[in-house]
Amino acid sequence: MKNNIILIGFMGSGKTSVGGKLSRALHYDFLDTDGMLEEEFGCTIREFFAEWGEEEFRKRETMLLSGLSKKLTKTVLSTGGGLPLCPQNAKLLREMGRVIYLKASEEETVKRLSGDTTRPILAGEDLRVKVHRLLEERMPLYKAAAHYTLETDGKSFYEIINEIECIALI
Ligand code: S3P
C-alpha cells in the first residue's frame, strides 16, 4: 500500500482541519479535493452546483481522483463528503493509502453544520432531517470504504492526530 493518508467522512467531520494539521505533524504534503476542484472551476462548489449540477460535479471529482491516484506520495488527502460513495472512487482511495473515516455523531454533525451556506447538498430541507437521512445512507459506505473508523466526538485535534499517527504506523 502507498504511504498516503486519506481522510473521508461526512460534511463537517473535520477532514480539512485535521488533514492540514496532520500533514504538518508528519511533514507530509496536504491536498484537499474540494479546494483543488474550486481552483480548477474558478468558482465555489456552491456556484458550480448551481451552474452545472451535482452529476457534473461528481464526474469532475472522479476525474480529479483518477489523476491523483497514480502520483501521490507522502500526502494527506482530505476528500469531499460525497467522493467515497462511488464504488470506483472508494476502490481507488483504498489503493492510494490508508483510508480513515472521521466519524462524528449525528448530534455533533448538526451542531457543526448549522448556519452553513456553503454546502449545496444541505440546502432546502430541515438540517436535522437531512443529516439524519444522509448519514443513514452514507455511513455504511464510509465504513466499507475505510480501513479504519475513528470516532471524533469529544476529542481534541491533538488526540485525533495522535490516533491517526498510531494507525499510520501499523
Ligand atoms: C459534499 C461535501 C462537500 C463538497 C460538496 C458535496 C457531499 O465537501 O464536496 O459540497 O456530498 O457530502 P465537505 O465534506 O468537505 O464539506
Residue 136 has φ and ψ, to the nearest 5°, of -60, -40
Which residue is it, cell 471529482?
Answer: 61
Residues 68-87 have pLDDT tens digits of 998 899 999 999 999 999 99
**How many domains does one find in the chain?**
1
Any idea what DSSP says for residue 95? H
Contact at 8 Å (CB) between 8 and 84? yes
Percent of the chain past pLDDT 90, that is, above it, reads: 94
Residues 128-166 have pLDDT tens digits of 999 999 999 999 999 999 999 999 999 999 999 999 999
Torsion, Cα of 168, 28, 146, 138 (10° steps): 140
Beta-carbon count within 10 A of 164 CB = 24
Tell me the one-letter amino acid at 10.
F
Domain at 132, CATH number: 3.40.50.300
Q: Please compute the mean of the pLDDT values over residues 33-56 and round it to a whole number.
A: 98
- The closest residue, in CA terms, to atom 3 on ligand 1 is 80
Nearest atom in ligand 1 to 32's CA: 15
Please work out whether the CB of residue 9 comes within 6 Å of at least one atom of ligand 1: no
How far is the CA of 79 from the CAs of 10, 17, 91, in angstroms?
A: 10, 12, 14
d(CA 2, CA 14): 23
Q: Which domain holds residue 96?
A: 4-168
Whether residue 115 has pLDDT greater than 80:
yes
pLDDT at position 2: 82
Whether residue 168 has pLDDT greater than 90:
no
DSSP β-ladder status, 97-103 and 148-151: parallel
Test site for ligand 1: of 118, 121, 142, most ligand atoms within 8 A of the Cβ: 121
Test site for ligand 1: of 11, 60, 102, most ligand atoms within 8 A of the Cβ: 11
- The closest residue, in CA terms, to atom 4 on ligand 1 is 80
